[in-house]
A and B are shown apart, each in its own frame.
Chain A
Amino acid sequence: MAYPSDFKYTKEHEWIKADGNTGTIGITAYAQESLGDIVFVDLPKVGAEVTAGKTFGTVESVKAVSDLYAPASGTVTEVNAELATAPEKINKDAHGAWMIKIALKDPSELGSLLSAADYEKFVNEEGGH
């Protein structure tokens, strides 16, 4: 599995891509594979505040409900509305099917997240994939 090197990752299997002051957030290929067929996502509305390490929504597969954890704090500026009707896009392209964009409150928060190489090492140890 290829994890983009310009993303940062959480141990809860979210990714964030920072572009200036904007952070784009989704879940990793490892997460979608573990979940299986994704059938529902519950995301915050534009304007909502998310806090690093706290839940900002839910993703559900046929068999499981999982919380989504914010990799960084900020205000939601955009929500990927397409996922409401086509959540399976996350299975097809987890690193392309972003969930929310936020205006980063403190871009330095990203410094504590995992790099692609560290995340890959982490999931190899965790899941044996």
Chain B
Amino acid sequence: MPSIEAITPTIRKTALNPVHRAMGAKMVEFNGWDMPVEYPSAGGIIAEHNAVRTSVGIFDVSHMGDIRLSGLDALDAVQHISMNDASRLAIGQAQYSALLYPQGTFVDDVIVHRLAETDYLLVINAGTREKDFNWVRDNTRHFNCKVENLSDEFTQIAIQGPQGVELLQKLTDADLSAVKFYWVTRGTVCGLKNTLIARTGYTGEDGFEIYVPPDESTSAMVWNKVLEAGKELAVAPCGLGARNTLRLEAKLPLYGHEISDNINVWEAGLDRFCKMEKPDFIGRAALEKSKAEGVKRMLVGLEMIERGIARDGYKVLDETGSEIGYVTSGSFAPFLKKNIALAYVPPQFAAVGSTVKVEIRGQGVKAQVVPTPFYKRPKRT
């Protein structure tokens, strides 16, 4: 008989886990990680969400994984395994992209950062860390390129919201005003030299993600200094609950929901991140075929017209009650104060203004296809 320890999957913890618990966060399991879902002391999900929209919030996103590709053929390797055109990246620039299966469906979505001439960092999802690393390693063997799994090398903290730049600037010598959205820099942060600072995020707001050493004391020191520096900006510590509602309002896909191994790029509507004209990449041939044939379903934004909240997995029905699709993510949207959802429906129902129903506890509840993203941050000067 195997011991209980051997058959029970280990719940992983980030270096900030004791800090979250000391702050009274409600903890949940997410993709095998023990993570904060909300901080009642910060007012909970809605207050955390709105802090990010109107001022600033911080998140522990250390569960995200990191894969480094470096060496002579690093660019060719990245080009081969990802759908966006990494040759367009200047040193210090980042892009949203995805790793695809030969069928044109998703291994994962990623942010590709070009850190140096032949040095790329892929930031990947928590739930797909091992799968992604194995996929990248196995599919880049024929390139002169070193592939490293750096997932456990960083504590990653996201500082998100219109006041994120003001907050982080207090803690670093790097000139953040010179760092554009989806660019990276390095600087001293909280006394830590050469810290990677990326102007990226998963909230639909301006913001930064910083990568600091993963030991508990350094991680706690940085987290606490960020909170302290953000006091006058009313910074909120934020959990995965707000992270999910923020990304939903901004229509940022979540692996296992809007994208997966049986959804392709065109269905997910991620066309503008897929560069068919660049050199061949895994999934390209299938996508070309799919484009010629046309897709059978499309990701749309729904707003509930009648009372009810569409939730992940709920059925989408036509006016007559026939099943036509399903909800991938749905929630009350805390900033927009509406009940919104993302769903896959056939193209004939995908036009903005189309009316459908969502089956909620056996009842068809009316919803309308609306433009997405539901929320777009205002241009600030």
Binding site for B on A (CB under 8 A): 33, 36-37, 39-40, 42, 58, 60-63, 65, 84
Q: Which residues of A contact B334 (CB under 8 A)?
A: 37, 62
Say whether B40 contacts A39, CB under 8 Å.
Answer: no
Say whether A37 contacts B361, CB under 8 Å.
Answer: no
Contacts A36-B26, A40-B308, A40-B309 given; does A62 touch B40 at CB 8 Å: no
Closest B residue, CB atoms, query A67:
B361
Bound: A62/B6 CA distance, A: 35
Bound: A58/B361 CA distance, A: 10
Closest A residue, CB atoms, query B37:
A63
In the complex, the 7 A-B pairs of residues with the closest C-beta atoms, listed nearest first:
A39-B332, A62-B45, A37-B46, A37-B44, A36-B44, A63-B241, A40-B309
The reply on B245 being an interface residue by CB < 8 A is yes
Closest B residue, CB atoms, query A40:
B309
Bound: A61/B38 CA distance, A: 12
Specify which of A33, A37, A61 lies most central, judged by the most chain B CB atoms within 10 Å of its CB. Answer: A37
Specify which of B44, B245, B334, B339 lies most central, judged by the most chain A CB atoms within 10 Å of its CB. Answer: B44
The reply on B68 being an interface residue by CB < 8 A is no
Please count how many residues in chain B sit with their CB below 8 Å of the partner chain's CB atoms: 19
Bound: A37/B44 CA distance, A: 7
Say whether A39 contacts B309, CB under 8 Å.
Answer: yes
Q: Which residues of B contact A33 (CB under 8 A)?
A: 40
Q: Which residues of B contact A39 (CB under 8 A)?
A: 46, 309, 332
Say whether B332 contacts A62, CB under 8 Å.
Answer: yes
Say whether A62 contacts B245, CB under 8 Å.
Answer: yes
Contact partner of A62 among B26, B46, B308, CB < 8 A? B46
Contact partner of A65 among B26, B44, B45, B311, CB < 8 A? B311
The reply on B131 being an interface residue by CB < 8 A is no
Return 16 A-B CB contacts under 8 Å, by A number. Answer: A36-B26, A36-B45, A37-B44, A37-B45, A37-B46, A37-B334, A39-B46, A39-B309, A40-B309, A60-B309, A62-B45, A62-B245, A62-B331, A62-B334, A63-B38, A65-B311
